[in-house]
Amino acid sequence: MNISKRILIQALAVFGTTAVAAEKTYRDDVHVLMYETDASLEGQSNTPLHFFRERSEMAGLRTTVYGNNLEYRGFGDKYQNLKPLLEIVNQDTLIILADARDVALNIPDDIDMAIAAVDHFVDNFERLTLESPNAVVLSAEAQCCVSAMSHAAPGDYFDAATGKRNKRACSSGKEDCRWSENENIHSWVDFMHTRARDVTGLPVDGVVDVYLNAGLMAGYPKDLINLIEVMDIGPSEDDQAVLTGLMHTYPDMLVLDYGQELFGNNQWTQGVESGCVFEGHGSSSPLTHLDTQTQPLMVHTPGKFYACLDLLIEALGGQSQQRYHPSVRKLMTGRLSLAQQLGIGGSASTRAVDDMEAARAGHEKEDAEEAAAAKQAEIDALIAEAVAEAQETEAPFVEEEEVVEEEVEDVTVWAGNYGQSNYGYSNYGTLNYGYGNYGAVVGRNALNYGESNYGYGNYGYGQYGVANRRRRRRFA
């Protein structure tokens, strides 16, 4: 039996039996498709996929996992098996395509707010595609670029005249597809920043997340099918490179969520303390982006940023694999971090604010005492060494002045798909186009993208909340 038939049989089984077996009513205007080859992940209570499915049921959001027990061949694999599903779903249903291992559903443990969050997503999708009604919306991130993009220049992948593929993308991270700092990357960076400026109307330093990320996208079935046919992607090709090339040649086919309104991407190159850019306020409220103040329905942690993902899941009241170091205290300087809110490994919903503050104060006191003891030990050692040396030379002893070196955190990032040299982690990564010149220092205009206009306040649960939340929703 070929792969397409196996996928189709899986899909028919899931589509046809899920609602009946669970005796659950699902909305029919939105449907999530997640590609995962490991069938065991759903059954493990501490996996991101299990948490995603759990919260999606609360919102009446149908979620289908496809690809179980199939051999994984590369980044383009999920598109090979996607088309059969898109051909059998209701063509008026908005489809969300999401990664399964590094995405959290940003839905609080509250049914009314969960429903409102999905309604909010549909409203924002329609607004973002108002001028491009047949476009597919993809998430945007702050980090450029996958390694495959250093092996091709903008315009190489597609022939605008014939619509055919000119060049195949290599598989990022493989031996023949390593990162290389070259003119190709420079050209991609210029293209993406120019596009962000033209679309948003903001200066180049006014948008942080300017690069396409293929981990999250949304569109209607016929538009996604058209996208797949034009992409003509092979199973081993890097989809992020191919999609960026497609946007260069066919700009009207794709819309990027520059404002982090539908999809939120964390910034893995910054490490947990600075790059986990969402904060939580307990399991009864959604996560909020620290810079944009938006509350996207899907939160992504690209670059295998699992430490951040687990903190986010726990902030929403879920169970995680706790793949973070227990010493993590701060995620953003001067803010109450998720790790602090959770007490490291707990659930925000089960800890009172006073307890959290007491725990935080206790940690700070312990840290200060440990630092003071370490510093004193270092001074004592220096003095003892100097005394011994003075006694040997019979020279008068002069107490040396203490020298305290600044502690620098060792941040380990995943470099398999992304570069870390001038156009990766340095010039076009976290320094010049990332958190440095164009990053958090400048930030976004919170009034435009913030909680007042597009958050759960006016546009979400408040003004369009309980009273109006069912106006767009249809149930199967």
Please name which of 288, 296, 274 lies closest in space to residue 413, comparing C-alpha atoms: 274
CB atoms within 10 A of CB 313: 28
Lowest model confidence (mean pLDDT) among 21-35, 173-187, 213-227, 362-376: 362-376
Best-predicted range by mean pLDDT (14-23, 241-250, 283-292, 304-313): 241-250
CATH top class, domain 3-326+419-454: alpha beta
- Tell me the two tokens of residue 375: 């510093």
What's the residue count for the chain? 476
Q: Report whether pLDDT(260) > 60.
A: yes
Q: Is the pTM of this model over 0.75?
A: no
Q: pLDDT at position 368, please?
A: 62
Q: 254-274 in b/e burial notation, b at 16+ Cβ within 10 A?
A: bbbbbbbbbbbbbbbbbbbbb
Residue type at 67 in one-letter notation: G
Q: pLDDT at position 74, please?
A: 84
For every residue of 175-198, DSSP letters joined together read: TTS----SHHHHHHHHHHHHHHHH
Query: Rg of the chain's alpha carbons, rounded to an integer?
Result: 25
Spatial neighbors of 137 by CB under 8 A, at least 6 apart, are: 125, 128, 129, 217, 218, 219, 254, 255, 256, 257, 262, 263
Tell me how many degrees the CA angle 475-110-295 measures, rounded to the nearest 5.
90
Locate the domains of the chain by residue range. 3-326+419-454
H/E stretch holding 299 = strand 298-300
Whole-number percent of the chain with pLDDT over 70:
66
Q: Report whether pLDDT(373) > 50.
A: yes
Q: Report whether pLDDT(223) > 60.
A: yes
- Residue 344 and residue 324: Cα distance in Å, rounded? 9
pLDDT digit string, tens, across residues 29-53: 999 999 998 989 888 999 999 999 9
Please name which of 54, 27, 22 lies closest in space to residue 319, comparing C-alpha atoms: 54
The average pLDDT across 87-96 equals 95
